[in-house]
Structure 1
C-alpha cells in the first residue's frame, strides 16, 4: 500500500497502526494538501456483505459528529476490493501507549483526559450514536494535549461472528460492560462503564479484571467485584474513586444516567470540599451478580445410620406386611435416579475438561528480538507459536542497519497466549532526501535550508556569475532540483548572480562615427542612436557627446550607447581675424609678448595663442570664432605683466562697428621724442565660418 494513490487523491505514506479488523495508514490528501489517516478494512472481511454494509453505514453515521474531542471522518470509499475510511490525522500518541509508558498517571491529568472523553460521548449519545468500544487504544492524545476519540460507529459493525475472529475485539473484553459480555442490547451506560475502566487503568496502571482467557474475563465482569482503586493507589481522592465505583456498577440502573451527569461529577471532583467526601455506598448488591453457593458438607456416618434406622422403624409395620417381591420394587426408582445423576455428573465433568482443554491456550513469554536480522527474529517468534503482524513496518531508524529489527510492540518478558500477534518494525536503508529548489533565494537563505537538511557547511560552495537576476540570488544549483543526495557527503555548488557584467566606458569624443562604433564593439557595447548637432568645440564629422555613459563610468555588457556627431559651427557663427598690434617696452630692445584669447570655442576658459619676442611694433592676427551673446576677449601680456585686454563683440563685428585700436608706442629714450600712437582703423577681417580654422602657431 505504501506509495499507492487511493481514490485518485490519497497518497499512502506509511503504516501507523492497525487492529484485528483494519490497518491504519498515514496519507497525504493531494487535493486539499493535508495529511490524513486512512483506515483500510482487512482482506478477510471484504467478502462479508453484511459487515461491509454496516461498516459503511456506521462510518457515514459517525461522520455526522462534529466535536473538538471526536476524530473527524472526511470520506468513505471503495477502490476495487479495498474499503477505506478517511479520517483526521492526529500527530501524537494513543492513550494505551501513554499508560504503558508512565502509568499510573497524575490524578489531574487522568480527570482532564476522562472529562474530554466524556464530553465526546455526550455529544455522540445526543446524536443517537453509541461507541461500544471505548478503550485506551481508541483514545488519541495530540501533541497539544487535545483528546480525540476515534472509531465511532466502527464497533457497532462488529457481529457475533467477528467477535470470535478478531483479536482486536477479544482484546476489548477487558473494557466490556456486563450487558455487553452477556450479548444483550447495549446503550449509553455501557460506554460509561467502559470509560470507568479506562479511568481505573490510568490511575492504577492495571485493569480491574484479568483472566487466562477472554471468556474468564467476561465472566468476572458478570460475577466478581473489583479491587478498590484506592487500595492500589492511595493517592486517589475519594471523590475520584466514587466516580469509578458508580460508573462500573454491574446494574446499569445504578450507574450514571447520562454522560452529561458523569461529566458534571468529573468537573467538580477535584474541588477541595469534595476530595475527602465519604465513600459511595449502594443499598443492595447488583441484581445480575452471581452469588457463590456454599459447598455441601458430607453427613457423618453415625448420623446417616441413625436417620436410616429411624426411617426403617417408622415403616416397620408396613414392611412386615409386604412380600419380598414388593420390597424389592420399592428400591428400583431411587436406584434409577441415583444412576442418572451419576451419569450426568460424569458427563458434565467430561464437558468441563474438554472445554477447559480447548479454552486454555499455552502461554508464551515474549523474547527480545531487537537488533536481530528480520529473518532470524521472524523464525524465532514463529517457533514459539506467535503470529507476525502483516505487514511488517519498514522504515529507516538511525543507528540500525538495513534489515535489523529496531522495535517490537510487546516488551520482552511479557506473557501472552500462543497464537498472539506481535508487530515488528524493521529498519531500512536511510532514505535519501531530495534536493530542494534553491533558485531565486539568497545565498544565506539557501545555506540555512541546506544546513537544516544536515548538509555540512564546508560542503556548501558559492560561485559568482554575471546575470540579469538580482544580485546575491541563486541562479543555478548542483545537484539539481529533486536529485537524491546524501547529506553527509554531498557537495552543493550554488551559482550566485553578480548582476549584469560591467565594463569601463571608452572615450568616444573627437572620434569619427566608424571609430566610435568600432570602439564600442571591442568592449561589448552596441552603437545606438546617432544624432547630428552643431558644435563650436568639435570639428565637423566627429563625436561631440556620448550618452548615457561618460568616459570612465561603468556600463553593462550589451548596453546601447547614443552618440552625437558634430556638423560644425552653426550658421550664425562668424570667423573673425583680429589684428592685434604689439610694441616692445623700448624700441630696439627685446620684449616678451604673450597672447591669450577666448571665444565661442573656449567660453569656459582662455586659449593660449602663444609667445613672441619682439624689438619693434608688430601686428599679430588672432583667429576668433564669434557667436551671439558670446564676446571674444584677447589678453596681452608684456614681459610677464598684464598689459591690455581687448573685447570683440559679435554684434560689433557683424555690424562692422569694431572700435579702432591704438598701436602702443615704445619708449624712444627721451620724453620730448614721444609722439601720438598710431590708430588702426581696420582691426580685423571676417572670413567664411564654415572654412577650416587656421590656427596661428607662434613661438
Structure 2
C-alpha cells in the first residue's frame, strides 16, 4: 500500500496502526493538500458481501457525525478489492500510549478526558450510533489536548457479522460490558460501561479484570466484583469513584441511563461540595443473576392416612367379592426388587472403587522450566510425572534464544495431579526476509518498497557515488546486498545511488587560442568537438570568445564534447581612429596632472582608463579609438582631479575625415565658480559639461556647464540630459 494512490487523490505515505479488522495508513490528499488517515479493510473480509455492505452503511452513518471530539470521516471508497475509509488525521498519541507512559493520571486530567469521550458518545447515541469498542487505543489525544474518539462506523458491522459467522464475540475483552460478553444485544449503556473501565485504568494504571485467557476475563465481567479504585489510588475523590462504580454496574439498569446523564456527573464530580460525598450504594438483592444460598426443599413423608387408605381399599375389595391375591405372588415381586437393588449396589460399589483407584493420583509440584531448552524442560517435567503437551507451540520471542522455553501454562510451584499435561511455548529463530534487488529503481521507489517490508524510514540511508554504468539518481546496489537475508525490524539499510559519471569543473577557455583551448580540454579529459568564428570588438583575433555548452566551473562529465568560438577580429565595418586631445597646465610654469577616460565600440560604452600624464606645457595626447556605425567614441578629460572636458567622436565624421579638432585650452582660464566634481556618464556621448564640443560657439547655462556646438553649426543641447548631470 505504501506509495499507492487511492481514488486518484490519496497518496499513501506510511502505516501508522492497525487492528483485527483494518490497517491504518497516513496519506496525503493531493486535491486538498492535507494529511488524512485511511483505514483499509483487511483482505480476509473483502469477499464477505454482507460485511462490506454493512461496513459502507455504518461508515456513511458515522460520516454524519459532526462533533469536535469525534474523528471526522471524509470519504468512503473502493478500488478493486480495497475497501477504505478516509478520515481526519490527528497529530498526537492515543490514550493507551499515555497510560503506559504516565499512569495513574492526575484526577482532573482523567476526568477532563473522560468528559470529552462522554460528550462524543452522547452525540453519537443521539444519532443512533453505538460505538461498541470504547478503549484507550481508540481515543486520540491531539497536541492541543483535544480528545478525539475514532473507529465509529465499523464497530456495529463487526459485532453483527462476525458473531454470525464464527459464533464468537469480537471486541476488546478487557473493556467488554457483561451483556457484550454474553453475546446479547448491546446498546448505549454498554459504551458507558467501557468508558467506566477506561476511567478506572486512567486513575489506577491497571485494568479491573485480568485473566489467563479472554474467556476467563469475560467470565469475570459476568461474575466477579472488581477491586474498588480508591483502594489502589487513595487520591481519587469519592465523587469520582462513585462515577466509576455506577458506570460499571453489571446490571445495565443500575448504570447511567444515558451518556448525557454521565457527562453531567463527570462535569460536577470535582466540585468542592461533592469531593467528600458518601460512597454510592446499590441494591444487590434485585439482581436475579447474583449467586445466593437458598434453603433445601425437604421431602414429604407418608403418614398413617396413606396406610389407612390402603386398608379401606382392601375392605372395599372384600365387600365387592374380589378374591384375595395369591400368596405366591405376594412375595415374588418384593424378592425380585430386592435382588435387583443388591445387584445394582454391588455394581456401583465396583465402579466407585475403580474410579477411586484411577483418580487417587498423588499431587506433584510444577517445576519452573522457563529459560530451559525444550529437551531439558521435557526431562524436568517427566522427572516429576508431568507430560509435555504435544504439539509444542513454536513462537519467536526476541528475549529468548532459539529452542528455549519462554512460557508454560502451569505456574511454577503450583500443585497438580501426576500425569497432568503442561503446554510449553518455545522460542524459534527469528524469521528473516530476503533483500530485494533494488538496482535500476529510484531512491524514493526503493524506500517505499523497503518500508512496505517493515523497515523503518529512519533506518534507510542514502550513499551517493559516481558510476560509469548507472545514470544519475538510479540505485546501484544495497547493503545488505540483494538476495541476502536480513531482519526488517532491526536492519539498517544503505541504498547506494548513482551520481552519474565522475564530474570535473569546466575550465575557462575565454581569451585562449585554439591550440591552448584544445590542450586544456584534453588535460581535463574533455573533447574539442567544433570550432566556430565570429567577429568581436573586445577579443583579439584568434582568441576564444565563447565556450558551449558549459561555462566556467560548471560540472562536466569526462568525455563531454565542447564547442568553442574564435574571434575573427574587428568586423569589416569597424574603424580605428586616433583622436588627439589638446591639454595644457592650469597655470603657466606649473605642472598639471591630466587624466583621460574613454569609451568606444570595444567595451559597449563602458568607461576605460586611457591613463594619466603630468604636463608642464600645452601639448596633444593621442587616444586610439575603435568606432562602429552604431558605436561612437567618447573622451573625457580631467585636470588636477577636476573634470575639464568631454569630446564625442562620431563614426560618420571619422569615416569621412570630418572630425573637428578641439581648440587647446587657455592656460589662464579661471575655473568656474560652480562646476560639478564628477563628469557626466560617458555612456551618453551627447552630454558635454564644461567646454564640450570640438569648436564652435559656447555659452554657460545656470548649472555652470559650458555648452558648445559640435562644430557643425548645431547647438549641443544634450549637456543637461546626460548621465552625470
TM-score by length of 2: 0.50
Distance change in 2, residues 1:385/1:45 (3 Å): farther
For 2:650, which of 565, 577, 591 is the aligned residue? 565
> CA separation in 1, counterparts of 2:405 and 2:634?
83
For 1:394, which of 437, 441, 455 is the aligned residue? 455
1:337-365 deviation per Cα after TM superposition (whole angstroms, max 9, x unaligned): 9999xx9xxxxxxxxxxxxxxxx999999
Q: Which residue is 2:202 aligned to?
A: 202
Q: Secondary structure of the equivalent of 2:2?
A: coil
> CA separation in 2, counterparts of 1:566 and 1:160?
99
1:124-179 deviation per Cα after TM superposition (whole angstroms, max 9, x unaligned): 11111111111111111112211110001211001456259899975512211122
Q: Secondary structure of the equivalent of 2:40?
A: strand
> CA separation in 2, counterparts of 1:386 and 1:191?
42
How far did residue 27 of structure 1 move?
1.0
Q: Which residue is 2:59 aligned to?
A: 59
Q: Which residue is 2:398 aligned to?
A: 368
Q: Which residue is 2:516 aligned to?
A: none
Distance change in 2, residues 1:53/1:276 (3 Å): same
Distance change in 2, residues 1:102/1:596 (3 Å): closer
Q: Secondary structure of the equivalent of 1:256?
A: coil
How far did residue 284 of structure 1 move?
3.5
Distance change in 2, residues 1:328/1:509 (3 Å): farther
- 8 Å CA contact 1:174, 1:210 repeated in 2: yes
Q: Does 1:429 align with 2:493?
A: yes
> CA separation in 1, counterparts of 2:497 and 2:146?
32
Distance change in 2, residues 1:248/1:335 (3 Å): farther
Q: Does 1:276 align with 2:337?
A: no
Q: Secondary structure of the equivalent of 1:37?
A: strand
Q: Secondary structure of the equivalent of 1:179?
A: helix
Q: Which residue is 1:30 aligned to?
A: 30
- 8 Å CA contact 1:229, 1:241 repeated in 2: yes
- 8 Å CA contact 1:20, 1:167 repeated in 2: no
> CA separation in 2, counterparts of 1:434 and 1:92?
38
Q: Does 1:323 align with 2:330?
A: yes
Q: Which residue is 2:20 aligned to?
A: 20
Q: Which residue is 1:522 aligned to?
A: 602
Distance change in 2, residues 1:524/1:68 (3 Å): same
How far did residue 369 of structure 1 move?
4.9
Q: Secondary structure of the equivalent of 2:121?
A: helix
> CA separation in 1, counterparts of 2:102 and 2:459?
25
How far did residue 91 of structure 1 move?
1.5
Q: Secondary structure of the equivalent of 1:14?
A: strand
> CA separation in 1, counterparts of 2:237 and 2:432?
41
Q: Secondary structure of the equivalent of 1:98?
A: helix
How far did residue 290 of structure 1 move?
3.5
Which runs of no fewer than 5 residues in structure 2 stay unpaired?
A: 312-324, 352-389, 408-424, 434-451, 463-477, 481-486, 500-550, 557-576, 582-595, 608-619, 639-646, 654-665, 676-694, 701-710, 714-725
Q: Secondary structure of the equivalent of 1:141?
A: strand
Distance change in 2, residues 1:111/1:397 (3 Å): same
Distance change in 2, residues 1:52/1:275 (3 Å): same
Distance change in 2, residues 1:28/1:596 (3 Å): closer
Q: Does 1:129 align with 2:193?
A: no
- 8 Å CA contact 1:247, 1:256 repeated in 2: yes
Distance change in 2, residues 1:598/1:50 (3 Å): same
Q: How does 1:673-692 map to 2 (within 5 A)?
A: none
How far did residue 220 of structure 1 move?
2.0
Which runs of no fewer than 5 residues in structure 1 stay unpaired?
A: 344-359, 405-422, 436-474, 481-507, 528-536, 554-561, 569-594, 606-624, 631-687, 691-699
Q: Secondary structure of the equivalent of 2:650?
A: strand
Distance change in 2, residues 1:478/1:626 (3 Å): closer
> CA separation in 1, counterparts of 2:637 and 2:221?
98
Q: How does 1:141-152 map to 2 (within 5 A)?
A: 141-152=141-152
How far did residue 49 of structure 1 move?
0.4
- 8 Å CA contact 1:400, 1:427 repeated in 2: no
TM-score by length of 1: 0.52
> CA separation in 2, counterparts of 1:2 and 1:182?
40
Q: Which residue is 2:79 aligned to?
A: 79
> CA separation in 1, counterparts of 2:455 and 2:404?
14
Distance change in 2, residues 1:162/1:566 (3 Å): closer
How far did residue 425 of structure 1 move?
4.0
Distance change in 2, residues 1:241/1:168 (3 Å): farther
Q: Secondary structure of the equivalent of 2:455?
A: strand
- 8 Å CA contact 1:197, 1:207 repeated in 2: yes
1:265-322 deviation per Cα after TM superposition (whole angstroms, max 9, x unaligned): 111111222111100011244525341558999x9xxxx9xx99x999x989989998
Q: How does 1:452-491 map to 2 (within 5 A)?
A: none
How far did residue 392 of structure 1 move?
6.0
- 8 Å CA contact 1:141, 1:147 repeated in 2: yes
> CA separation in 1, counterparts of 2:29 and 2:107?
39
Q: Secondary structure of the equivalent of 1:24?
A: strand
- 8 Å CA contact 1:69, 1:149 repeated in 2: yes
Of residues 231-240 and 328-337 in structure 1, the stretch that sits farther from structure 2 once superposed is: 328-337
Q: Secondary structure of the equivalent of 1:220?
A: helix
1:224-267 deviation per Cα after TM superposition (whole angstroms, max 9, x unaligned): 22111111111111111000011111222211111111111111
Q: Secondary structure of the equivalent of 2:190?
A: helix
Distance change in 2, residues 1:56/1:330 (3 Å): same
Q: How does 1:597-636 map to 2 (within 5 A)?
A: 627=697
Q: How does 1:155-304 map to 2 (within 5 A)?
A: 155-159=155-159, 162-163=162-163, 170=170, 172-285=172-285, 287=287, 289-291=289-291
Of structures 1 and 2, the larger Rg is shown by 1
1:352-396 deviation per Cα after TM superposition (whole angstroms, max 9, x unaligned): xxxxxxxx99999984359x9xxx899999954899999763214
> CA separation in 1, counterparts of 2:432 and 2:24?
13
Q: Which residue is 1:668 aligned to?
A: none
- 8 Å CA contact 1:20, 1:169 repeated in 2: no
Distance change in 2, residues 1:203/1:603 (3 Å): closer
> CA separation in 2, counterparts of 1:432 and 1:214?
48
